[in-house]
């Protein structure tokens, strides 16, 4: 995968990045959306031309009708002139229809493209966030922002922006045409426009917090739903369905109340009252001018017909600006995620050599979210090619050590060297490609078995995948499935047993051929007979590469070159099995409990 230019990485440090020749403007929600809109200048041009043509076409229509009135009420009737009026009317409306089609087509196209682009940017940004960020986020709310909030940005463009542009041109058009009838007729529309703008400002001011509340409560509603679905087995096992339904209903009520609040504000749209005053005042003013002989009956008809045009911006604004307000609220929620700084950077200019397998921890202290240290003053070293077992009671920080080696997290104090270099000086992609971690909680994607095994090596051949599966003792059970290696496993691999998932994870690790192999209770769900086979496979694969074993199984601990005993986040003692069994009470306690 290509890297970004260095300047962009320095501005937006990230664990993951791709080439982006263009950067959005994230200073504010409005600027962010505007930066996307201005990328499509031709579409914007067509929308404005279409909206202007629609406004002028709508304004010309009553003018033609007014001319017709003057011809009919002033005999002898000039049929030829009436014919030309009809032809002009048809031509103007055909042109108007064509421009309207172009405007609506490009508006929809623009909305879809901006939805696609903003979703892509958010997705890449989320992938680039560190685990510290993801640990603090609620999955359901992230999904609401990545799907529903991004969709609201589409609706902001179409129908939102599209109708606002149309409304503006429907207001502008009468001011262009009315002076051709009589300049004094501008008085009432001018007063209406001023009052309309003032009422719109107050409307948007009241609407913004309501739309923000709707977006926030929907995110919480989605979070509760995702959590209930993900934990449905636990809910059913504890017979807590009624309690969870009540909890979801409470979230649903909050969302409903926020939506009703928004509806109440939209219902109090005073521009509708102004529209009635406009039409009454315009009729009165035109009749006064008619009685004074300054305009004709046709002018009265044309002018009052044009006043009907103001109905579109008045009615459209009632919900078009709601789309815009909701879209800006959604953009704000998306930018809120993007503005959270990640703790790690990809360091594309860092070391990218082959790791020799050496690992050194020097006075390492680390805590999750600045809480009680999970590790404190950890110091030990691993020579290239050594097998090291990390043992200790539950909660002593064993798995944390693995996550520090590949920079899932960065240390708070001290330093870690891999291959003679500080892990923070390594190119992050190069570092992680040479380290494979197999955890007890194996994550499999809803893809084929072959694709899951080849996840770290997408271009692996079928023969390489099969070889890795055989090494991990997974080949036989894979062939028991109807579709073999093409069998699609369910989300997180729920259609497989724990032992099967762990063997697929081992196959995935073997295929990547890492310089450092970390097994974090990777055989905990495997029966003894299969474990013996996998143990021999691991011993074979471990030849020539550094292997870290985080386990309680004596069969694996015995053959380690070095055993590090952790107690309450500190190194209690180091040595081989016989030495520790003889000299370390903490190790003997672990041995007595688990082995």
pLDDT of 267-303, one tens digit each? 877 777 888 899 999 999 999 999 998 999 999 999 9
Burial of residue 538 (CB within 10 Å: 0-12, 13-18, 19+) is buried
Nearest to 333 by CA among 172, 204, 151: 151
Q: What is the spatial distance between Cα 403 and Cα 349, in angstroms, rounded to a whole number?
A: 22
The answer to whether residues 358 and 382 touch, using CB atoms and an 8 Å cutoff, is yes
Q: What is the spatial distance between Cα 411 and Cα 420, in angstroms, rounded to a whole number?
A: 17
For residue 194, the model assigns a pLDDT of 92
DSSP 149: I
The string of DSSP codes covering 475-540 is HHHHHTSTTGGGPBPPGGGTTS-HHHHHHHHHHHHHHH--SEEEEESTTTTS-HHHHHHHHHHHHH
For residue 523, the model assigns a pLDDT of 67
**Sign of the alpha-carbon torsion through 360, 363, 368, 369:** negative
Please state, as a whole number, how many other Cβ atoms lie within 10 Å of the Cβ of residue 294: 14
CATH topology of domain 26-338: ABC transporter transmembrane region fold (1.20.1560)
**Sign of the alpha-carbon torsion through 474, 480, 486, 492:** negative
For residue 50, the model assigns a pLDDT of 93
Q: What is the pLDDT of residues 229-254, one digit of tens each?
A: 777 777 877 777 888 888 888 888 99
Residues 6+ apart with CB under 8 A from 549: 387, 388, 389, 390, 519, 556, 557, 560
DSSP 182: -
Domain range list for the chain: 26-338, 359-594
Q: List the pLDDT tens digit at each of the 595 positions of the chain.
A: 334 433 343 345 555 655 566 788 888 898 999 999 999 999 999 999 999 999 999 889 999 888 988 888 888 888 888 899 889 889 999 999 999 999 999 999 999 999 999 998 888 888 877 777 777 777 778 888 888 889 989 999 988 899 899 989 999 999 999 999 999 999 999 999 999 888 888 888 888 888 888 888 888 888 888 778 777 777 877 777 888 888 888 888 998 999 899 888 888 777 778 888 999 999 999 999 999 989 999 999 999 999 999 988 888 877 788 888 888 888 988 898 888 777 667 777 888 888 888 899 999 999 887 778 889 999 999 998 888 989 888 888 888 888 888 888 888 899 999 988 888 888 888 888 888 888 777 788 888 999 989 988 888 899 999 998 888 888 988 998 888 999 988 776 677 877 788 888 888 888 888 888 888 876 665 666 666 766 766 777 777 789 888 887 777 787 788 989 888 888 888 988 888 888 888 777 776 655 4
Q: What is the spatial distance between Cα 247 and Cα 354, in angstroms, rounded to a whole number?
A: 52
Q: 0.75 cut: is pTM over it?
A: no
CA distance to 92, 146, 196, 314, 515, per residue, from 165 (Å):
20, 27, 15, 13, 60
- Its CATH architecture, for the domain 359-594, is 3-Layer(aba) Sandwich (3.40)
For residue 304, the model assigns a pLDDT of 93
Q: What is the spatial distance between Cα 119 and Cα 204, in angstroms, rounded to a whole number?
A: 26
For residue 450, the model assigns a pLDDT of 92
Residues 6+ apart with CB under 8 A from 446: 488, 489, 490, 491
Residues 6+ apart with CB under 8 A from 95: 53, 57
Burial of residue 262 (CB within 10 Å: 0-12, 13-18, 19+) is buried
Q: What is the spatial distance between Cα 23 and Cα 217, in angstroms, rounded to a whole number?
A: 30
For residue 6, the model assigns a pLDDT of 36
The answer to whether residues 64 and 88 touch, using CB atoms and an 8 Å cutoff, is yes
Q: What is the spatial distance between Cα 328 and Cα 321, in angstroms, rounded to a whole number?
A: 10
As given in the structure block, the two tokens for residue 183 are: 């300049």
């Amino acid at each position: 995968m290509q890297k970004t230019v260095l300047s962009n990485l320095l501005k937006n440090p990230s664990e993951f990045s791709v080439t982006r020749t263009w950067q959005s403007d994230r200073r504010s929600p409005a600027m962010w959306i505007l930066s996307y809109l201005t990328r499509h200048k031709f579409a914007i041009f067509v929308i404005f031309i279409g909206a202007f043509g629609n406004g002028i076409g709508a304004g010309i229509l009553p003018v033609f009708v007014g001319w017709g009135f003057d011809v009919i009420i002033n005999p002898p009737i000039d049929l030829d002139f009436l014919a030309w009026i009809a032809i002009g009317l048809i031509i103007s409306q055909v042109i108007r229809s064509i421009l309207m089609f172009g405007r609506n087509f490009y508006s929809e196209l623009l909305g879809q493209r901006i939805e696609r682009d903003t979703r892509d940017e958010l997705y890449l940004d989320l992938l680039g966030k560190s685990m510290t960020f993801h640990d603090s986020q609620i999955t359901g709310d992230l999904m609401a922002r990545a799907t529903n909030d991004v969709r609201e940005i589409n609706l902001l463009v179409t129908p939102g922006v599209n109708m606002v542009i149309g409304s503006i041109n429907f207001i502008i058009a009468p001011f262009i045409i009315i002076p051709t009838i009589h300049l004094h007729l501008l008085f009432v529309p001018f007063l209406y426009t001023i009052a309309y703008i003032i009422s719109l400002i107050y409307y948007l001011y009241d609407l913004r917090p309501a739309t923000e509340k709707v977006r926030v409560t929907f995110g919480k509603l989605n979070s509760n739903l995702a959590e209930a679905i993900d934990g449905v087995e636990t809910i059913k096992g504890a017979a807590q369905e009624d309690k969870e339904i009540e909890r979801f209903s409470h979230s649903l009520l909050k969302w409903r109340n926020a939506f009703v609040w928004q509806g109440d504000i939209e219902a109090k749209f005073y521009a509708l009252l102004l529209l009635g005053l406009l039409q009454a005042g315009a009729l009165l003013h035109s009749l006064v001018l008619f009685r004074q002989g300054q305009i004709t009956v046709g002018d009265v008809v044309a002018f009052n017909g044009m006043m009907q045009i103001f109905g579109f911006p008045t009615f459209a604004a009632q919900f078009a600006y709601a789309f815009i307000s909701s879209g800006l609220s959604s953009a704000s929620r998306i930018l809120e995620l993007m503005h959270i700084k990640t703790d790690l950077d990809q360091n594309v200019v860092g070391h990218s050599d082959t790791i020799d397998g050496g690992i050194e921890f020097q006075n390492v202290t680390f805590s999750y979210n600045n809480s009680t240290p999970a590790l404190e003053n950890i110091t030990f070293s691993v020579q290239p090619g050594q097998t090291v077992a990390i043992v200790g009671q539950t909660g002593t920080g064993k798995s944390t050590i693995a996550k520090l080696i590949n920079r899932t997290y960065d240390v708070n104090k001290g330093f870690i060297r891999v291959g003679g270099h500080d892990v923070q000086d390594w190119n992050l992609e190069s570092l992680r490609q040479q380290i494979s971690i197999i955890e007890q909680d194996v994550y499999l994607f809803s893809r084929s078995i072959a694709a899951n095994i080849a996840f770290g090596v997408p271009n692996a051949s079928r023969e390489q995948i099969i070889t890795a599966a055989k090494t991990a003792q997974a080949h036989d059970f894979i062939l028991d499935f109807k579709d073999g290696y093409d069998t699609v496993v369910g989300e997180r691999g729920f259609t497989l047993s724990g032992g099967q998932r762990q063997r697929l994870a081992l196959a995935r690790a073997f295929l990547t051929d890492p310089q450092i192999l970390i097994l974090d209770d990777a055989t905990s769900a495997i029966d003894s007979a299969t474990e013996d086979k996998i143990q021999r496979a691991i011993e074979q694969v471990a030849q020539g590469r550094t292997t870290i074993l985080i386990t309680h199984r004596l069969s694996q601990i015995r053959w380690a070159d070095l055993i590090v005993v952790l107690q309450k986040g500190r190194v209690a003692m180091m040595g081989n099995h016989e030495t520790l069994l003889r000299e370390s009470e903490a190790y003997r306690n672990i041995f007595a409990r688990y082995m």
